[in-house]
Structure 1
């Protein structure tokens, strides 16, 4: 038997639990897809199972075969606390927690998104993500909400990873 864990019943993708709170005060526990930004085509339906293995994709636009990897620019274990300025207007606590978690793990990028990152082109990254994965007209979220989520996640990334990427084959 392989490792069972939390998955989404709709996409069979891996799910992670997210705790959020302030200053040693737990406000809640939530669950989210194990992706940089929650998918906007379906809600998470929590289930237990074996997640589908997926090939790495660009964490900005979901293009296949990303060639670049951005590591966190700080060591979270060396510092008991870290502060990130993040405009959380319009974000739920789970979305905010997910955006903050994004600073702790490496990000994959395709060639195009890597150039946009080097240019610090936040709007270009958001526009490319929406162009390659459009918001469904009858989806559960409208484009404004999706744009807010992408802007939050990508702005945290840009504020914490100013360095040069490594080739993704280094993994």
Structure 2
């Protein structure tokens, strides 16, 4: 039997709980898709069940069959305090919390995005993600919000993964 947990009833994807802490106090708990950026094609429909494991995809643009893996360089268990330079401009508390969670997990990249990462082409990475997955007109989020979410997640990525990627087949 698979492990039962939180999932999205709409897409079947895994869901994580996100705690919001400000200066030592718990402000609340929310739930988000277990993805680099909350999907903009649908709202989370929280359910309990067996989340379906998705095939690895590029965490930058969503392309299938990523060939590179970036491991986190920070280990929050090694220290009680660590700081990350995070661009939270135009990010909600939920989006900021998800961006911070991104520092704890490895990131997959396709060949194209790996080159863009090496060249630190943040704006091109954002444009590529939006070209591959445009923001639909009939959703509650606009393209400016999606761009802010991507910029926030990428600022965490570049702060916590300055090294070279590993081939993803090593996973």
Paired residues, number: 171
Instruction: Please list, as runs of the form range in 1=range in 2, the aligned pairs for 1:80-119 lying within 5 A after superposition.
Output: 80-119=80-119
Deviation at 1:135, TM superposition (A): 0.5
Give secondary structure in 2 for the equivalent of 1:6. strand
User: RMSD of aligned C-alpha atoms?
Assistant: 1.0
Moved over 2 A (4+): none
Residue aligned with 1:102, SS: helix
Pick which of 15-24 and 103-112 moved more.
15-24
CA offset at residue 94 of structure 1? 1.1
| Residues 133-142 or 38-47, more deviating | 133-142
Q: Which residue of 1 aligns with 2:19?
A: 19
1:107-164, Cα deviation, whole Å (9 max, x unpaired): 0000000000000110011000000001102222111111111111011101211100
Q: Partners in 2 of 1:5 and 1:76 — Cα distance?
A: 24
- Contact 1:17-1:29 at 8 Å conserved across structures: yes
Q: Determine the structure 2 residue equivalent to 1:68.
A: 68
Equivalent residues of 2:87, 2:155 under 8 A apart = no
Structure 1, unpaired ranges of 5+:
none
**After the TM superposition, which of the residue ranges 85-94 and 121-130 deviates more from structure 2?**
85-94
- TM-score using structure 1 length: 0.96
Q: Give the unaligned 5+ runs of structure 2.
A: none
